[in-house]
Structure 1
Amino acid sequence: MNGFIDKLGEKLLPIAGKLGENRYLKVLRDAFMLAFPITMFGSIVVVLNNLPFFSDALQDNLGNLFGNGQNATMSILTIFVTFGIGYYLSKSYDVEGVFGGAVSLASYLILTPFTIVTESGEAVTGVLSLDRLGAKGMFIGMIAAFLAAEIYTRIVKKGIVIKMPDGVPPAVANSFAALLPAIITLAIFLLLNAAISGFFDANLHDVVYTAIQQPLTALGSGLPATLIAVFFIQFLWFFGLHGQIIVNSVMDPIWNTLGLENLAAYQAGEPLPHIVTNPFMDVYNVGLGGSGGTLVVVLLLAFVMKSSQNKEIGRLAVLPAIFNVNEPLIFGFPLVLNTSIFIPWVIAPMVTTAFNYAVMAAGIFPIPTGVAVPWTIPVIISGFMATNSFMGGLLQIIDMAIIGLIWFPFLKLVDKVNLNTVSMADE
């Protein structure tokens, strides 16, 4: 067993390390974190407007009064992400980030149709559709933002800027320095949009959505791809690497898009199209005590195991685990490089993920609505917030029971070893 894990680690860890240090994945992660406080606010508004014990009439009234809390946040998430990508990518090249963010956002909007078609078939110009600024526009927004920031920063690095004399206020000097790179970058995107519109009578949004986004989201929403992602999260953590950050850097764009599509359907009163979304992954994995759902493991250590070592570690880790922080367990138990618990550490969250997918697909438990739930929200509460149903919290309890059953025999073995070690020391 040890030899197999060592060989697997030798093959995969260099790849994981490169992914974790990849400039573009780090920028993408930071861009989504930039939008995190805004999406949290929008999620809270959605939850409060749609509490299950509210009548339909009351929900409609709340939607009319407070609906802009969602429209101005989660529904236009792509705007914040594109700005964040431009900002952080520019900064990674030591270029003024604010202008890089503004150019990336403007480049994305240049590619976005300012026309909507009403139900009667009438085309209304000068209007932006919310779906273009949310889930449907996410991939084109990310592509446009990365390309625009790359072009902008390369022009700046080549020195194609207007330099102002000494004594000019920094804000003015920075604006003039950004002028030529911004004009060139935006002109490229304007010509690109004109070419696609003129020659193909289409817009890049629809082309990318049909050719790239739909196939990728379909792949990311499937159970096999999800289980692979969960496996790598746990496997990387086993070696002390932050599996959540590394894997989510790749999967978050897909899972966030799926979540936004669920939220749009939920708001429209339609069936939710996806089971696997970012809230599904967070609430039924991280939301059970940290990566791998280890709150029940901590409770078993603290109150069921007999060795003083396990009890002490468990009791110290209980409070952080309630708020889904399990680093005290990962590095204190430890879980890192501890081959005796490798199997439950990897297998337990994969089992619960498959179980959750199955019961949601069967309609036994509700699918997460797409609202973003802060990862520090304790178990049961987070399940309720994610699904707008008390059944969501009940499913978390069942998951914890499953994880506990998988972990228990392995913890007993560790506990027995610890007790024998203490007995030998006393002799």
Structure 2
Amino acid sequence: MNRLLKLMEEKLLPFAHRVAGQRHLGALRDGFITLIPLLIIGSIFLIIQNFPIPGWDVKQVEWFGAAFPDLITLPAKATFDLLSLYVVFAISYRLAQHYKMDAITTGILSLVSFLIIAPKTLKSESGEVISNVIPMGEWFGSKGLLVAIIIAILVTEIYNFFLKRKIIIKMPEQVPPTVAKAFSALIPAFTMFSLMLVVSILFLQTPYHSLNEFIYVMLAKPITLFIANNVFGALATCISITLLWSIGINSGSLVNGVLRPFWLDLQKENMNAIQAGQPLPNIITEQFFDMIWIGGAGTTLAVAIILIFRAKSRQFKELGRIAGAPGLFNINEPILFGLPIILSPLMLIPFNLAPVAITVVNYFAMYFDLVARPTGVVIPWTTPPIIQGFMITNSWTGAVLQVVDLIIAGLIYYPFIKMVDRQKYKEEITEK
């Protein structure tokens, strides 16, 4: 185990730091983090409409009128169904900040470029095709995220290329800086918009009819099917997060930032199924992993509970009390660095094993419909366990599953904690 840790420190740690510091991945991560409050608010309104009280669907119509179910979901539609528009701006904005460019202008250029590329047709219920509209959902929702990410990065890089080489319209010094900045964007903007228009026209001549359809069929769909939406992909995600945490890298935001675009599409499919009154098609969403990280990465709330009630060492018992409160809100640095778990050859075994076991249990419990699947609603990551499971699945079965998860994690951690606690207890007796 020591040799493995040394190898990870020498080889994996530098590589992980380079990946975490990569500007495009950083912009991707920060852009999505910026939008999380928006998604949480939209999800709250979806929860109100689908609150798990028998007869609530009938009562809300009786109390507030027949239009209420559609009206109450408008905030959710305005966030999730236009998500690609916000993402293209947010990622471009963050990347422009890295280059110390005018972030607002860059974000707007990316937004307009995306609008030029994205299909702008809508098919009515009668089958009539309506042109020149921005339909909510489809390519402007989660389905268009991959194209939004590509355009955000491409436009920002092109704009940075023009600015660095001063291929811009230069205004006299007497002109106010704000006006000068606006004119400096003219040549890059014309070039980018022309490029997007040419790409859009070229794809109209293909069977795909749009860049969005091409990217979705060739990239997004296969990645979602073979990586993001199966038990093996879930296990790979889980292991990659705990392995990186094992050497002290806060890997959740890094891994989530890469996979979030694919998870969001799966979440949206589940939301659409709820609206249509159909069974939820997907198990793997970002919230599936939220249910696993009870107390934080490694499912460490179980560790705090064991320390509080079973530790003989005064130091560990006190650590459990200190770590218990933040652990309820999925903050586990006191446990990770106080026990410690990080870089501990012994404690890293259950730290990596417990989440894997829980991932398998949770996946198949949902696969065989013993537990409700994640609805797709986004809730704050600090939501306490049990409540979290209920809100994610909109069912009491989700809350029960998290209790089972805690027990499984506790059984895996207990023999290892007992060993380190016995050693610490002996040290404390010797010191006396």
TM-score, normalising length: structure 1: 0.95
Local SS of the residue matching 1:136: helix
Alignment-derived partner of residue 230 in structure 1: 238
Distance 1:157 1:185 in 2: 16
Q: CA contact under 8 A between 1:34 and 1:80: conserved in structure 2? A: no
Distance 1:266 1:90 in 2: 38
Q: CA contact under 8 A between 1:234 and 1:345: conserved in structure 2? A: yes
Divergent runs of 4+, >6 A: none
Per-residue deviation at 1:160?
A: 1.6
Q: CA contact under 8 A between 2:80 and 2:142: conserved in structure 1? A: no
Alignment-derived partner of residue 245 in structure 1: 253
Distance 1:244 1:360 in 2: 23
Alignment-derived partner of residue 211 in structure 1: 218
Q: Note if 1:403 corresponds to 2:417.
A: no
Per-residue deviation at 1:393?
A: 1.2
Q: Note if 1:357 corresponds to 2:358.
A: no
Q: CA contact under 8 A between 2:34 and 2:90: conserved in structure 1? A: yes
Alignment-derived partner of residue 151 in structure 1: 158
Q: CA contact under 8 A between 1:135 and 1:261: conserved in structure 2? A: no
Alignment-derived partner of residue 33 in structure 2: 33
Q: Structure 1: which 5+ runs fail to align?
A: none
Local SS of the residue matching 1:421: helix
Per-residue deviation at 1:84?
A: 0.9
Distance 2:338 2:206 in 1: 62
Alignment-derived partner of residue 121 in structure 1: 127
In the TM superposition, what are the counterparts of 1:5-24 in structure 2 within 5 Å? 5-24=5-24
Letter matched to residue 197 of structure 1: L
Local SS of the residue matching 2:130: strand
Select 1:367's aligned residue among 355, 366, 373: 373
Letter matched to residue 77 of structure 1: L
Local SS of the residue matching 1:261: helix
Alignment-derived partner of residue 3 in structure 1: 3
Distance 1:188 1:134 in 2: 23
In the TM superposition, what are the counterparts of 1:304-323 in structure 2 within 5 Å? 304-323=310-329
Select 1:274's aligned residue among 272, 275, 282: 282
Per-residue deviation at 1:410?
A: 0.6
Alignment-derived partner of residue 56 in structure 2: 55
Q: CA contact under 8 A between 2:266 and 2:284: conserved in structure 1? A: yes
Q: CA contact under 8 A between 1:148 and 1:185: conserved in structure 2? A: yes
Per-residue deviation at 1:200?
A: 5.0
Local SS of the residue matching 1:73: helix
Per-residue deviation at 1:8?
A: 4.1
Letter matched to residue 312 of structure 1: E
Local SS of the residue matching 1:107: helix
In the TM superposition, what are the counterparts of 1:154-165 in structure 2 within 5 Å? 154-165=161-172
Could you say if the C-alpha distance between residues 111 and 337 of structure 1 is closer, same or farther in structure 2, counting changes exceeding 3 Å?
A: same
Deviates further, 14-23 or 309-318 = 14-23
Letter matched to residue 208 of structure 1: I
Select 2:98's aligned residue among 92, 97, 105: 92
Q: Note if 1:174 corresponds to 2:181.
A: yes
Q: Note if 1:194 corresponds to 2:201.
A: yes
Per-residue deviation at 1:221?
A: 0.9
Deviates further, 198-207 or 381-390 = 198-207
Local SS of the residue matching 1:369: coil
Q: CA contact under 8 A between 2:302 and 2:409: conserved in structure 1? A: yes
Q: CA contact under 8 A between 1:386 and 1:392: conserved in structure 2? A: yes
Distance 2:306 2:134 in 1: 53
Alignment-derived partner of residue 294 in structure 1: 300
Distance 1:301 1:191 in 2: 64
- What count of residue pairs does the alignment treat as equivalent? 424
Question: Percent of aligned positions with the same letter in both sequences?
Answer: 38
